[in-house]
């Protein structure tokens, strides 16, 4: 039997995200405490990573920015799956 270790429920959502240095990825799911994304480039567990996601909201275009800790890496064929824990995050309108 599988035991769930997540502290927050996750929602499946695919959104493009921008990593530092212009790299890109695609989210698979997100929660209040973290997210999982896939990217072409390999990442290292335990390291810090910054990203931002822009999306349309009923009030206009929004930007979510976060600094995270990489808590897990999953090889996925030609992609790398990356599980993140939010350390600092901010949601603001795009200006």
- Choosing among 3.40.640.10, 3.40.50.720, 2.40.10.220, 1.10.3720.10, the CATH entry for 11-93 is 2.40.10.220
Question: Cα–Cα distance between 26 and 78 in angstroms, integer?
Answer: 14
Strands of the chain (E only): list them: 11-12, 16-19, 24-30, 34-39, 48-57, 60-76, 79-93
Residue from 66, 51, 72, 53 nearest 6 by CA: 72
pLDDT tens digits, one per residue of 23-75: 899 999 999 999 999 988 777 888 899 999 998 888 889 999 999 999 999 98
Residue ranges covered by each domain of the chain? 11-93
pLDDT band at 6 (very low <50, low <70, confident <90, very high): low
- Other residues' Cβ atoms within 10 Å of the Cβ of residue 36: 19
Residue-wise pLDDT for 84-95, tens only, equals: 999 999 998 887
């Amino acid at each position: 039997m599988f035991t769930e270790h997540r502290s927050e429920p996750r929602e499946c959502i695919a959104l493009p995200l921008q990593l530092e240095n212009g790299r890109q990825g695609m989210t698979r799911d997100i929660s209040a405490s973290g997210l999982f994304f896939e990217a072409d480039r390999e990442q290292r567990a335990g390291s810090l990573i910054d990203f931002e996601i822009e999306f349309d909201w009923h009030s206009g275009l929004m930007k979510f920015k976060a600094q995270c800790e990489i808590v897990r890496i999953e090889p996925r064929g030609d992609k790398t799956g990356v599980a993140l824990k939010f350390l600092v995050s901010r949601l603001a309108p795009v200006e």
